[in-house]
Amino acid sequence: MCGGFFALLIVLFMAMVRGGEAQLRQNFYRVQCPNVELIVRQAVMKKMSQTFVTVPATLRLFFHDCFVEGCDGSILIQSTKGDTEKDASDNLSLAGDGFDTVIKAKQAVEAACPGVVSCADILAIAARDVVLMSGGPNFSVELGRRDGLVSHRWRVPGNLPTPELSFNLLSWIFRKNNLSVTDMIALSGAHTIGFAHCNRFAKRLYSFNATHKVDPSLNPTYARQLMQACPRNVDPRVAISMDPQTPNVFDNAYYRELVNGRGIFSSDQVLFGNPISKPIVNNFAFNPQSFTSAFSQAMIRLGRVGVKTGKNGEIRRDCSRFN
């Protein structure tokens, strides 16, 4: 009995240790790399001075990383075989400026603190910084992630929120990552910046279903504007701003667009069409502080998804390849 009691204590102790390892915290690098956030911010500022695409590209990169294998930098891995997350069809439209932002920030951090800060943490910091520097909220970033040890193209389908998903499917993807409906709606507000390729929403304009060629939830005037910008069989590289009013400002205009039937993706507009999410959309549309507060909290929770610690990860020397 005594032996069994001590065995139980050991199990409980190991569980506590593992739980402690898995805890992210602010100022994780206070001793080993105290200026990491300043170094990353300077790199982000320099990249933003070259192109505003840095903002939506970096933020989208963070989302796509966290929803597949967790926030572990697995989206950054490159392979000549074309078999990593980056090579999945849903990730082919990720702008190179997002990857370049992380690469440049990692180089700067390595120069100051070699082998200390993970690529996953650098991406998390950079995602916060692009939001802040485009007019969005500031929030603390929890740190202590390790970089993942796997990156598979086949893991991407079904794990990313895509433009055509219904409210129920969207909710399911967020829920399995411990994110609430409010988190989902708040994070969707990132569509207030950036752009969308025409082929990602063309079905809404020309072949929605057997009854309606044009999605009836789409504002008719806006639909005609989209058709002018994205005619049939347009070059798939053509893209338009997702927020036509303030495309380069992180604000709550996205939600006002939804209220007016001007959500560019089906997965945007369904947020206003569903009775569960509609009150939240209305709240964010007319209460910008409510949106920024919810977005900040949702980003912190998203950053906790699938975190790797200890031997489950590594600190990559080069973000694009495993050590």
Render pLDDT for 76-128 as a digit per residue (tens, 0 to 9).
999 999 999 999 999 999 999 999 999 999 999 999 999 999 999 999 999 99
**Which stretches of 86-208 are DSSP H helices?**
96-112, 119-133, 167-175, 181-188, 202-206
Distance CA 56, CA 91 (A): 14
Is 83 marked as a binding-site residue? no
CATH entry, 29-160+303-312, from 3.30.950.10, 3.30.390.10, 1.10.520.10, 2.40.50.140 = 1.10.520.10
Per-residue confidence (pLDDT) for residue 14, from 0 to 100: 43
Where do you find CATH 1.10.520.10 in the chain?
29-160+303-312
Is 148 marked as a binding-site residue? no
Is 121 marked as a binding-site residue? no
Is 70 marked as a binding-site residue? yes
Where do you find CATH 1.10.420.10 in the chain?
167-301
Per-residue confidence (pLDDT) for residue 17, from 0 to 100: 37
Catalytic residue list contains 64 = yes
Per-residue confidence (pLDDT) for residue 16, from 0 to 100: 40
Is 129 marked as a binding-site residue? no
| pLDDT confidence bin for 8, thresholds 50/70/90 | very low
Class of domain 167-301: mainly alpha
Distance CA 131, CA 196 (A): 18
Are 251 and 192 a contacting pair, CB within 8 Å? yes
Mean pLDDT, rounded, for 257-264: 97
Mean pLDDT, rounded, for 58-73: 98
Residue 23 clears pLDDT 90, i.e. is over it: no
Work out the mean pLDDT of the chain and round it to a whole number: 93
pTM of the model: 0.91
Choice among 64, 152, 197, 212 that is catalytic: 64
Per-residue confidence (pLDDT) for residue 22, from 0 to 100: 55
Is 251 marked as a binding-site residue? yes
**Which stretches of the chain are DSSP H helices?**
2-21, 36-50, 54-66, 96-112, 119-133, 167-175, 181-188, 202-206, 220-229, 253-259, 266-273, 278-286, 288-302
Distance CA 213, CA 147 (A): 45
Is 192 marked as a binding-site residue? yes
Residue 9 clears pLDDT 90, i.e. is over it: no
| pLDDT confidence bin for 13, thresholds 50/70/90 | very low
Is 74 marked as a binding-site residue? yes
